Amino acid sequence: MQIETDLRGELRRNEPMARHVSWRAGGVADRSYFPAALADLRAFLGAVAADEPVCFVGLGSNLLVRDGGFRGTVVFTHRALAGLHLLDPPTGGIYAEAGVASPKVARFAALNNLTGAEFLAGIPGTVGGALAMNAGCFGRETWEIVARVRTIDRAGRLYERAPADYRIEYRSVVLKDKAGAGASSDSSSLIPHPSDEWFVAAVFKLPRGNGMQSRRTIKELLQRRIATQPLDQPNAGSVFRNPPGDYAARLIEQCGLKGHAVGGAVISPRHANFIVNTGTARAADIESLIELAQAAVQSRFGITLEREVRIIGEARAKSGAL
Ligand SMILES: Cc1cc2nc3c(=O)[nH]c(=O)nc-3n(C[C@H](O)[C@H](O)[C@H](O)COP(=O)(O)OP(=O)(O)OC[C@H]3O[C@@H](n4cnc5c(N)ncnc54)[C@H](O)[C@@H]3O)c2cc1C
């Protein structure tokens, strides 16, 4: 990879990803880049080899990097893509860049008497991560409030896109084929997002509301989270998507797996869809528990639990292997 010397930002080698994911476990990224501004990110992507795996990372609250590490480049958005401001009427709404924390958007909306973003207070990632995951809680989902997004591709080109350019489902966002965006429902014309295009910003459409009421809603929402989730130990939120008409947590609990441990990873005794790191977990311990829960639920209920958390990288070579 030939990188211009006047590129601003920070390029690191062998970056321990445990520092950047909420599970606080896992391997290194061969290369990581913290752009200083969007212009640097554009120049950087333009210089990255076409076959170099690239992964954008927000706050790592839905991500696990296997212990053998990621053979590619991780791009961190939170330093450079930090813009957050109101849009003037008649468009209205909020412009938020991909590296802004979702709870910050919720608070900013409430402070400005805009309603509809309160649920983002409960999602401890970035706007980019929320867009990629269609993150949601308490009956709301990110893309319900998206008016349009700005994206960047591998060549550093920027695009303005509308929600209609994506197939948006529960915890899944797929960019329709650029050539046939919006034109086809054939899944073969879909490319998975974000394989070669990533989010740099979103415009959220939010009607006028009552800021005091929004702040009350946010407070209640956070209190409910504290009461039900094991927030005192490193975790990545819900590990599995809820299957239609059921709850992953209920199914895992019925299999008697609450409290089950592999190494330093434990299926939370408090919430069975959470896996917590008790301090010494390796990524392999977490992934083993994920597979164990999937196998148990499949065997007992015939239901396939689909992962919500994203896993990248390579397993560590077994000791003794060449
Ligand atoms: C305690 C806790 C509670 C949680 N509760 C919820 C919840 O209620 N609802 C919910 O939906 N999730 C929840 N999560 C999961 C997580 O917070 C969300 O999925 C969040 O949106 C991820 O954002 P992030 O910035 O941390 O993304 P990361 O974990 O950094 O990345 C997640 C995925 O998004 C991709 N990505 C990140 N940034 C970009 C970008 N700019 N462009 C394209 N792709 C990108 C990454 O490549 C990766 O595939 C919870 C997590 C925790 C730890």
Distance between CA atoms of residues 322 and 319, nearest Å: 8
Here the tokens at position 311 are 């896993």
Cα–Cα distances (Å) from 293 to 2, 81, 223, 239, 273, in that order, read: 44, 37, 28, 10, 9
Percent of the chain with pLDDT over 70: 90
Q: What is the pLDDT of residue 317?
A: 66
Ligand 1 pocket check for 130: Cβ under 6 Å: yes
Mean pLDDT of 87-112: 92
Q: Mind telling me the catalytic residues?
A: 171, 238, 308
Residue with the smallest CA separation from ligand 1 atom 51 is 237
User: Residue 154: pLDDT above 90?
Assistant: yes
Instruction: Return the minimum-mean-pLDDT range out of 6-20, 271-285, 306-320.
Output: 306-320
Q: What is the pLDDT of residue 120?
A: 98
Show the DSSP H helices in 86-242 as ranges.
102-111, 127-133, 211-228
- pTM for this prediction: 0.93
Q: Of 19, 24, 78, 123, which is best to mutate to test ligand 1, by the most ligand atoms within 8 angstroms of its C-beta?
A: 123
User: Residue 110: pLDDT above 80?
Assistant: yes
Q: Is the dihedral of CA 121, 251, 172, 206 positive or negative?
A: negative
Cα–Cα distances (Å) from 290 to 64, 235, 236, 268, 308, in that order, read: 12, 13, 12, 12, 11
Instruction: Return the minimum-mean-pLDDT range out of 46-50, 59-63, 98-102, 262-266.
Output: 46-50
Indicate the pLDDT class of residue 321, thresholds 50, 70 and 90: very low
User: Residue 5: pLDDT above 80?
Assistant: no
> Beta 70-76 vs 54-57: how paired, if at all?
parallel
Q: Which atom of ligand 1 is nearest to the CA of 57?
A: 30
User: What is the 6 CA–ligand 1 centroid distance (Å)?
Assistant: 32
Mean pLDDT of 104-108: 98
Q: Of 54, 57, 66, 240, which is best to mutate to test ligand 1, by the most ligand atoms within 8 angstroms of its C-beta?
A: 57
User: Residue 134: pLDDT above 60?
Assistant: yes
Mean pLDDT of 42-55: 94
pLDDT digits (tens, 9 = 90+) for 158-202: 999 999 999 999 999 999 975 444 333 333 333 333 468 999 999
Ligand 1 pocket check for 98: Cβ under 6 Å: yes
**Better-predicted residue by pLDDT, 190 or 40:** 40
Question: Which phi and psi angles does 172 have, rounded to 5°?
Answer: -150, 130
Q: What is the pLDDT of residue 280?
A: 97
Q: What is the pLDDT of residue 186?
A: 36
Ligand 1 pocket check for 116: Cβ under 6 Å: no
Which of 288, 144, 304 lies closest to 240, judged by CA?
304
Mean pLDDT of 93-97: 96
Indicate the pLDDT class of residue 50, thresholds 50, 70 and 90: confident
